[in-house]
């Protein structure tokens, strides 16, 4: 089976290797004895063809050679199985190379080669802010639920007391505005955090 260029396998051109020998059909006359008229022995020949080889000054055509593409190496010694990524410099602190030049880092480490430690205080702050944002988003959904209910019921039951509906709606809008401001503030804090890659 001849490997072909594919994912992570590249064709590398190979130079011609000097004079070539080519095959051709060579005519050969083979003498033999047979019986002629009058039952006497006669000598004749027959033509046969055999494969012969001749050396010519023509250079052999370049044949491609297949190898792993840059950044990959063979896995298990099989030709065409280039599935192991190479990281230069190598991954540190227990990281594993997942793509050429890209490491997957264990918890507590980051960067292209897993050599940058993550500040545990910053990590805790980010997690706390993310939890607060999620809690505020849930509260916002709870506040919006009655408004959605009112909007969907209004055409069915006809208009309710307009004054109480307006007062209730304004209260809900104030709560929504307050929650939106809190979410915006927390998102700004997350955006300015130096460890937002977590």
Tell me, yes or no, whether 9 lies in a domain: no
Least confidently predicted of 81-85, 96-100, 143-147: 143-147
Last residue in a domain, options 117, 146, 176: 117
Q: What is the pLDDT of residues 113-148, one digit of tens each?
A: 888 887 777 767 777 888 888 888 888 788 777 766
Least confidently predicted of 20-24, 153-157, 176-180: 153-157
Q: What is the pLDDT of residues 162-186, one digit of tens each?
A: 667 677 777 878 888 888 888 878 8
Last residue in a domain, options 56, 82, 117: 117
pTM score, whole prediction: 0.36
Tell me, yes or no, whether 51 lies in a domain: no
Three-class SS of 69-133 = CCCEECCCCCCCCCCEECCCCCCCCCCEEEECCEEECCCCEECCCCCEECCHHHHHHHHHHHHHH
Long-range contacts formed by 58-62: CB under 8 A, 24+ apart: 58/19, 58/20, 58/22, 59/16, 59/17, 59/18, 59/19, 59/20, 60/16, 60/17, 60/18, 60/19, 60/20, 61/16, 62/13, 62/14, 62/15, 62/16
Last residue in a domain, options 83, 117, 151: 117
The answer to whether residues 180 and 162 belong to one domain is yes
Rounded to the nearest integer, the mean pLDDT of the chain is 77
Confidence of residue 189 (pLDDT cuts 50, 70, 90): confident
Q: What is the pLDDT of residues 54-72, one digit of tens each?
A: 877 655 566 677 788 888 8
Least confidently predicted of 60-74, 86-100, 145-159, 175-189: 145-159
How far apart are alpha carbons 180 and 45 in whole angstroms?
107
Q: Is 89 or 2 the better-scoring residue by pLDDT?
A: 89
For the cut 60, the answer to whether the pLDDT of residue 156 exceeds it is no
Parent domain of 107: 68-117
The answer to whether residues 179 and 164 belong to one domain is yes
pLDDT at 2: 41
Tell me, yes or no, whether 72 lies in a domain: yes
- 3-state DSSP assignment of residue 56: strand
The answer to whether residues 125 and 151 belong to one domain is yes
The answer to whether residues 113 and 142 belong to one domain is no
Tell me, yes or no, whether 47 lies in a domain: no
Tell me, yes or no, whether 80 lies in a domain: yes
Work out how many domains the chain is built from and give that number.
2
The answer to whether residues 89 and 108 belong to one domain is yes
Mean pLDDT of 96-121: 85
CATH, residue 83: 2.10.25.10
Tell me, yes or no, whether 7 lies in a domain: no
Q: Are strands 65-68 and 40-59 parallel, antiparallel or unpaired?
A: unpaired
């Amino acid at each position: 089976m001849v490997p072909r260029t594919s994912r992570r396998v590249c064709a590398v051109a190979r130079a011609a290797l000097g004079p070539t020998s080519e095959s051709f059909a060579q005519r050969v006359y083979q003498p033999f004895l047979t019986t002629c008229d009058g039952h006497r022995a006669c000598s004749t020949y027959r033509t046969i063809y055999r494969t012969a080889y001749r050396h010519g000054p023509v250079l052999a055509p370049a044949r491609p050679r297949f190898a792993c593409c840059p950044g990959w190496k063979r896995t298990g010694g099989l030709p065409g199985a280039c599935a192991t990524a190479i990281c230069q410099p190598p991954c540190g602190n227990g990281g594993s190379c997942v793509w050429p030049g890209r490491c997957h880092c264990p918890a507590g480490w980051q960067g292209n080669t897993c050599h940058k430690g993550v500040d545990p205080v910053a990590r805790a702050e980010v997690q706390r802010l993310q939890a607060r944002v999620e809690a505020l988003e849930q509260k916002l959904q709870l506040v919006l639920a009655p408004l959605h209910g009112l909007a969907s019921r209004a055409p069915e039951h006809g208009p309710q007391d307009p004054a109480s509906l307006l007062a209730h709606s304004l209260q809900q809008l104030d709560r929504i505005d307050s929650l939106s401001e809190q979410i915006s503030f927390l998102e700004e804090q997350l955006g300015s955090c130096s460890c937002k890659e977590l």
